[in-house]
Amino acid sequence: MLKERYPYYLANTPVQANADLEVRDKYSGAVAARAAMPDAEAIEQAIAAAVAAEAPMRKLPPYARQQVLEHCVTSFRQRHEELAQALCVEAGKPIKDARGEVTRLIDTFKVAAEEAVRIDGEVLNLEISRRAQGYRGFSKRVPIGACSFITPFNFPLNLVAHKVAPAIAAGCPFVLKPSEKTPIGALIIGEVLAETDLPAGAFSVLPVMGDKAAPFVQDERLKLLSFTGGQIGWKLKAQAGRKKVVLELGGNAACIVDADQGERLDFVVDRMVFGAFYQSGQSCIGVQRILVHASLYEEFKRRFVERTRTLKAGDPKDESVFLGPMIDEAAARRLHDWIEEARTRGARVLCGGGRKGNMLEATVLEGVPRDANVSCREAFGPVALLAPFDDFDAALAAVNDSDYGLQAGVFSNDLGHAMRAWDELVAGGVVVGDVPSFRVDNMPYGGVKLSGLGREGIRYAIEDMTEQRLLVLRDG
């Protein structure tokens, strides 16, 4: 269902300047499509066009922004299977997961359409002392201006949506650099946006290689940089100048299984297997570290390993496949090396551990040293680490013993334990009764520590993409 060639989008307009970017089927390795790549002049034109579009986008009334987003929802529904198949090929995502991501894409634009007409202001009581008697204050939120977005390969539809949809709702023009490994989904989104009446220059979708992306970060005309990716984000922040910066930079998510979970251990195991291995573990909130109460540990381990061994790996286009390829062989080799490093340091491989090209087996380890790469860094692949604990507070401390803090999970029926986890865990979010991999697209989502700063989620992104403007009136 992929086209042979895809244009990039410059100031709302498709440009088939070349076919230089090869987009490969991540399972077969064959070239599946080609996309046009912009040069430095095109990037400059896109940024200039976005800046020129600031006033027209600011004046675009909320109902008109909503209509653009509603058009996208309708079009994405009509092209659901096309988008899913493209995602399956370019990202290697199992087709069932790919369809799920298209559904989330639609949800994200739908919520943005609803929020576009809810960007309200505030009446301020300024009469806090005699000198302010007779003064009234009002504030409204206005678009921050031209924005720059850089997105990764692992959710090439929904992570684009979490930047693009709130920008349109807020009235911000933007330039987008999707991952050069998975550009097609973003280019289809560009195709749909080009069908709307957005002002000229409101958007550009430019798949360039990372070493050509400096203007997206450094250009002072851009008012906000929103980056999702790895730890290079901190370097980009340092290069971004005066613009606002929002970063989502991954994690090594942990999940606690409390002592009272014995009666529903099968459910817990099923959710953990999903959280650890869905889309080959290539999720910022994929389950990486699993802490199980000592009274349940051996039984949990037996069931978890047994369930992991049943996962079918192979061609992601096969409806029955759960585990597809990693994004490329370099990523699989890197994680395989980390597994071998842990093994040489005394860790036990309970299942998996093998690699063929960019296919890495679902791997379960125990006895992993805390400072092994596979434990203290983001694995971003199909590996889970098991460890027992005796004391709930010690388990919380173990979760916090990380440089990351994106999301954490707690399976517990104890309300006191749940509330203590919420109070004590240093993370952007705590999920009780499920894995930390759970996310709904209207909730505040983001991390602390090395996991980043700022929050995604439509309403929260709109807050970042707008700023308060104050009006003060004096009676008489």
Residue 476 has pLDDT above 80, yes or no: no
Cβ neighbors of 34 (< 8 A, separation 6 or more) are 4, 5, 6, 19, 20, 21, 22, 23
Q: Which two three-digit tokens encode residue 70?
A: 């509603």
- Residues 181-209: tens digit of each pLDDT: 999 999 999 999 999 999 999 999 999 99
Bridging pattern class, strands 13-15 and 8-10: antiparallel
Q: Alpha helices, DSSP H only, in 248-328?
A: 265-277, 294-309
- Residues 14-40: tens digit of each pLDDT: 999 999 999 999 999 999 999 999 999
Q: How far is residue 221's CA from residue 145's CA, in Å, rounded to a whole number? A: 9
For residue 102, give the 3-state DSSP assignment. helix
In sequence order, what DSSP letters do the residues of 336-396 get, joined into one string?
Answer: HHHHHHHHHTT-EEEE---EETTEE--EEEES--TTSHHHHS---SSEEEEEEES-HHHHH
Q: How far is residue 325's CA from residue 27's CA, in Å, rounded to a whole number? A: 6
Between the alpha carbon of residue 260 and those of residues 295, 392, 413, 471, the distances in Å are 9, 12, 7, 56
pLDDT, position 107: 98
Longest C-alpha distance within the chain, in Å?
80
278-286 mean pLDDT:
97
Taking alpha carbons only, the member of 145, 125, 142 closest to residue 133 is 125
Kindly state the percentage of the chain with pLDDT values over 70: 100
| 75-109 burial: b if 16+ Cβ within 10 Å, else e | bbeebeeebbbbbbbbbbbbbbbbbbbbbbbbbbb
Beta bridge partners of 246: 226
For residue 42, give the 3-state DSSP assignment. helix
Tell me the residue length of the chain: 476
Strand order across the 5-6 sheet: 5-6, 31-35, 21-24
CB 278 within 8 A of CB 288: no
- Residues 61-88: tens digit of each pLDDT: 999 999 999 999 999 999 999 999 999 9
Residue 371 has pLDDT above 80, yes or no: yes
- Residues 372-419: tens digit of each pLDDT: 999 999 999 999 999 999 999 999 999 999 999 999 999 999 999 999
pLDDT, position 1: 72
Q: Of all helices (H) and strands (E), which one includes residue 285?
A: none
Q: How far is residue 408's CA from residue 429's CA, in Å, rounded to a whole number? A: 6
Residue 103 has pLDDT above 80, yes or no: yes
CB 249 within 8 A of CB 431: no
Q: Which residues are catalytic?
A: 248, 284
Per-residue pLDDT band for 288 (boundaries 50, 70, 90) equals: very high
- Residues 112-145: tens digit of each pLDDT: 999 999 999 999 999 999 999 999 999 999 999 9
Q: How many CA atoms lie within 13 A of 232 on its CB side?
A: 12
Kindly state the percentage of the chain with pLDDT values over 90: 99
Tell me, rounded to whole angstroms, the distance of Cα 426 from its chain centroid: 19
Residue 55 has pLDDT above 80, yes or no: yes
Q: How many CA atoms lie within 13 A of 268 on its CB side?
A: 29
Cβ neighbors of 333 (< 8 A, separation 6 or more) are 355
- Residues 125-134: tens digit of each pLDDT: 999 999 999 9
- Residues 436-465: tens digit of each pLDDT: 999 999 999 999 999 999 999 999 999 999
Tokens 């299977």 belong to: 81
- Residues 247-276: tens digit of each pLDDT: 999 999 999 999 999 999 999 999 999 999
For residue 408, give the 3-state DSSP assignment. strand
